[in-house]
Amino acid sequence: MSDFVPETEENEEESQKIDEIHEIPAQAIIIDQSFSRRFLNNKWYGKYGEDGDLLEHIDEDWEPVGLDEVEFLSQLWFEQEDQEKKAHRHYDWDEEKKEWVPKAKQEEVNEDFIAEYQANYGVQYDDIYKKMDEELQEKAAKAQKEDEEKKEKKRKKKVGLGAGEDAKEGWLDLGDKVHAVYVSNLPEDITDEEFQKFMSKCGVIQPDIRTNKPKCKLYREENGKLKGDGRCCYIKKESVELACNILDGANLNGREVKVEEARFEMKGDFDPARKRRKLTAAQKKRYMEQQNKIFEWTPDKPRNYRPKSDCTVIVKNLFTQEMMNKNAALMLDLKEEMTQSCQKYGIVKKVVVYANHPDGVVSVTFPTTEESDMAVKYLHGRVVDGRKLTAELWDGRTKFKVEETEEDEEKRRKEYEKYIEGGSSETKEESDDDDDDEAEDN
């Protein structure tokens, strides 16, 4: 304990008891006369001499202070030590009373003395807190400045001013959106196909979102003559750096071409009429799916793989147009009959009757190719009402739907109306016959 902090009899007895009862381990810290203690932040701290390490009193033992607290506690230690030195001018240590007493020359303890004692006792935390507040304010100001710089950089990038010191006025920075290279010193007799083949060595060329053509362009004069330069857009950003490293300086038809990252400049005034209409969310999604599909890896199809179209059977010559025109309900009847007839070969998922097709086509779809093969085997060559049927698997490309003309539609509508009226009259006659029979029975 230092000379400033008084010791009590209880502390002395406790210290003696510890020395007498407990054995000091080999690694324990032995307290000697050069050891001084101070009460800081509601804890006891001590150190050996002037250059010793700070120790903290924990569970009846002295442990080294953590590295993250050494600087702060050392500052408190030296400030309190300085205050103690100033306070020694007015006190003397009394060995008999074991306490600090005013010096002999100062006989009267008045209010001024007490005020001076209270002002000099302990640590002045105002300066410490003030310093901490200044550091926090500096950090906050620095963070705010960095945030403003980021916003300004983002704004410049959005308007196309560029962030580099060597960026020229008028050039637009589209590096994050457009991955393109500018190629110069091209041969005058080069074709678009040769240019695309040459540029595709470093990556996949990006297709146009509207025309689906490769965005690989050769610049020409108004009369169609090549200027000797061009531009190529890639899907991946890495292809730009690869093209600049590999294709730059390459020999193409006797010319040493120059390849560099493309920069874009707005020419003339902005014309809103020439601005392309923005794509919808569905169009953007479909375009990105097409791009990602290029880089997808799909396993090789097995040898016995069969396309999904093989599950559909196309049956022809099942009806004629004359039959379809005479009977408006024939389409529904054929659909029901084909469903019942083909259920013996497997599960029928769908039946479509192409009423307007001149070949009398009906398609039947099964879940598996085994069932469709069975249907083709037994339906092909069958004779129905004097007509020989043909059954084959669908090729997946042929369309059998035939759009009917307005005349055919009107004719079909009239035939259907006659069918409805005829069905109603027949129903009425049957009902009258039933009434006559009941009257005769009565």
Domain CATH code at residue 175: 3.30.70.330
The secondary structure element, H or E, covering residue 166 is none
Q: Is residue 343 part of a domain?
A: yes
> 118: Cβ–Cβ under 8 A, 6 or more apart, which residues?
none
Please indicate, yes or no, whether the overall pTM of this predicted structure exceeds 0.75: no
pLDDT in tens, 11-48: 444 444 444 434 434 344 444 557 778 887 778 888 88
Is 232 buried (19+), middle (13-18) or exposed (0-12) by CB count in 10 A? buried
Q: Is residue 223 part of a domain?
A: yes
**Which tokens in the block code for residue 363?**
């398609």
Q: Are residue 215 and residue 314 in the same domain, yes or no?
A: no
Q: Is residue 410 part of a domain?
A: no
pLDDT in tens, 190-246: 999 999 999 999 999 988 887 888 899 999 998 888 999 999 999 888 999 999 999
Give the pLDDT band (50/70/90) at residue 352: very high
Q: Is residue 205 part of a domain?
A: yes
Q: Are residue 45 and residue 94 in the same domain, yes or no?
A: yes
Which residue range(s) make up the domain with 41? 9-120
Asked which of 378, 393, 408 is the last residue of a domain, the reply is 393
- 43 pairs with which residues across the strands? 40
Give the pLDDT band (50/70/90) at residue 139: confident
Q: Is residue 241 part of a domain?
A: yes
Q: Are residue 263 and residue 322 in the same domain, yes or no?
A: no
CB 316 within 8 A of CB 332: no
Asked which of 99, 120, 141 is the last residue of a domain, the reply is 120
> Residue 395: what pLDDT?
93
**Which tokens in the block code for residue 305?**
């793989």
Q: Is residue 155 part of a domain?
A: no
pLDDT in tens, 294-342: 877 777 778 888 999 999 999 999 999 888 878 878 889 999 999 999 9
> 6: Cβ–Cβ under 8 A, 6 or more apart, which residues?
98, 99, 100
Q: Are residue 253 and residue 346 in the same domain, yes or no?
A: no
Q: Are residue 215 and residue 112 in the same domain, yes or no?
A: no
Q: Is residue 4 part of a domain?
A: no
Average pLDDT, the chain: 77
Provide the domain count of the chain.
3
Among the listed residues 395, 394, 388, 311, the one whose alpha carbon sits nearest the alpha carbon of residue 346: 311
DSSP state of 253: T
Q: Is residue 417 part of a domain?
A: no
* Average of per-residue pLDDT across 354-370: 93
* Average of per-residue pLDDT across 7-11: 45
Q: Are residue 115 and residue 14 in the same domain, yes or no?
A: yes
Q: Are residue 19 and residue 113 in the same domain, yes or no?
A: yes
**Which tokens in the block code for residue 26?**
């080999």
Give the pLDDT band (50/70/90) at residue 8: very low
Count CB-CB contacts under 10 A for residue 345: 20
* Average of per-residue pLDDT across 394-413: 82
Q: What is the DSSP string of 10-27?
A: HHHHHHHHHHHHSPPPTT
Q: What is the DSSP string of 320-367?
A: -HHHHHH-TTHHHHHHHHHHHHHTTTS---EEEEETT-TT-EEEEE-S
pLDDT in tens, 112-121: 666 666 666 5
**Which tokens in the block code for residue 247?**
């294709």
Give the pLDDT band (50/70/90) at residue 405: confident
Q: Are residue 258 and residue 315 in the same domain, yes or no?
A: no
The secondary structure element, H or E, covering residue 378 is helix 369-379
